[in-house]
């Protein structure tokens, strides 16, 4: 498991404006801590920027796709344009894609139908190019509805596509259901100051877990309240080890291997 990196943050947004003034300093801190990251696209422009950052930095990879609530109530997945990006060796995943039912306004059924359409397009695009999915699931007023709908869609593709459920917020039962479909789950800095997910982290196989930051959002303790950045993923690794009661080095090496395996990252 030797590598040039000590940690991989599997989900960040280095292309967001939050990093405009000091993106180079953020990347420098990552290099100093030997942290790599997958920076995530939420639309075509954002995906192009993610790839640009990945091309310029050895320890950065890109995920390209369309977020379910990107821009309008009817986001579009322009397959022809994404075809131009996916051939690049630094593109390691498709997304973040999925379903987001949080605070929808207007013709809700039409919005949900379009989200499902765009999600399925990206599933089939991922299968075509043998890439894993980076899933975004967020419920609305009805608890676990988005999880249920995403799960039912993915069941139709069982064995054909794999991926990760980013920013996992459901319970152990749902974690086990997605793992049974061949998916992994990832946790962010939230776990450093709430205990809601301890049962899941303790009881799923270590091989099914990842650490992420979702930077610039939700910084972990001791940086809570600050703008997040990928180098802070070290605190998420440490907390996973603490919750599981396992040696930090064992956890670090396995999470690094999990990321390399799922996203086919060559170091």
- Domains along the chain? 7-263 (3.20.20.140)
Residue pair 243/201 in contact (Cβ under 8 Å)? The answer is yes
Count other Cβ atoms within 10 Å, centred on residue 143: 11
Dihedral, 162, 208, 44, 37 alpha carbons, nearest 10: -140
| pTM score of the predicted model | 0.96
Q: In percent, how much of the chain has pLDDT > 70?
A: 97
Q: What's the N-to-C CA distance of the chain in angstroms?
A: 10
pLDDT (mean) for 91-111: 95
| Angstrom distance (rounded) from CA 91 to CA 62 | 5
Residue 71 pLDDT class (50, 70, 90 cuts): low
Q: Is the pLDDT of residue 1 over 60?
A: no
Q: Which residues contact 140 (CB under 8 A, 6 or more apart)?
A: 101, 102, 103, 104, 146
Residue 219 pLDDT class (50, 70, 90 cuts): very high
Count other Cβ atoms within 10 Å, centred on residue 16: 18
pLDDT (mean) for 115-138: 98
pLDDT (mean) for 164-190: 98
Residue 225 pLDDT class (50, 70, 90 cuts): very high
The pLDDT value recorded for residue 72 is 65
Residue 70 pLDDT class (50, 70, 90 cuts): confident
Two structure tokens written together for 261: 């395996």
Residue 20 pLDDT class (50, 70, 90 cuts): confident
Mean pLDDT of the chain: 96
Lowest mean pLDDT among 34-43, 102-111, 230-239: 102-111
Q: Is the pLDDT of residue 171 over 90?
A: yes
Residue 2 pLDDT class (50, 70, 90 cuts): very low
Q: How many residues does the chain have?
A: 267
Residue pair 191/212 in contact (Cβ under 8 Å)? The answer is no
| Angstrom distance (rounded) from CA 65 to CA 77 | 8
Residue 11 pLDDT class (50, 70, 90 cuts): very high
Sign of CA dihedral 77, 80, 84, 87: positive
Residue 40 pLDDT class (50, 70, 90 cuts): very high
The pLDDT value recorded for residue 55 is 98
251-256 LR contacts (CB < 8 Å, sep 24+): 251/206, 252/6, 252/7, 253/1, 254/206, 254/207, 255/7, 255/8, 255/206, 255/209, 255/210, 255/211, 256/1, 256/3, 256/5, 256/6, 256/7, 256/8
């Amino acid at each position: 498991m030797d590598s040039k990196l000590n940690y991989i943050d599997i989900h960040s947004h280095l292309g967001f404006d939050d990093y405009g003034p000091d993106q180079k300093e953020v990347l420098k801190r990552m290099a100093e801590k030997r942290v790599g990251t997958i920076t995530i696209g939420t639309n075509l422009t954002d995906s192009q920027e993610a790839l640009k950052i990945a091309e310029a930095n050895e320890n950065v990879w890109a995920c390209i796709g369309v977020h379910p609530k990107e821009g309008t109530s009817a986001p579009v997945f322009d397959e022809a344009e994404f075809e131009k990006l996916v051939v690049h060796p630094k593109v390691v995943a498709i997304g973040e894609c999925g379903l987001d039912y949080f605070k929808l306004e207007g013709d809700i059924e039409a919005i949900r139908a379009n989200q499902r359409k765009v999600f399925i397009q990206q599933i089939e695009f991922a299968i075509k190019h043998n890439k894993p999915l980076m899933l975004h699931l967020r419920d609305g007023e009805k608890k676990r509805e988005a999880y249920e709908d995403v799960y039912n869609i993915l069941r139709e593709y069982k064995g054909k596509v794999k991926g990760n459920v980013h920013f996992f917020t459901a319970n152990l039962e749902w974690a086990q259901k997605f793992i049974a479909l061949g998916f992994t789950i990832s946790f962010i800095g939230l776990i450093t100051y709430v205990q809601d997910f301890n049962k899941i982290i303790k009881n799923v196989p270590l091989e099914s877990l990842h650490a992420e930051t979702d930077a610039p959002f939700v910084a972990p303790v001791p940086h809570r309240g600050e703008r997040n950045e990928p180098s802070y993923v070290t605190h998420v690794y440490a907390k996973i080890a603490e919750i599981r009661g396992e040696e930090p080095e064992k956890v670090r090496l396995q999470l690094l291997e999990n990321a390399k395996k799922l996203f086919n990252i060559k170091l």
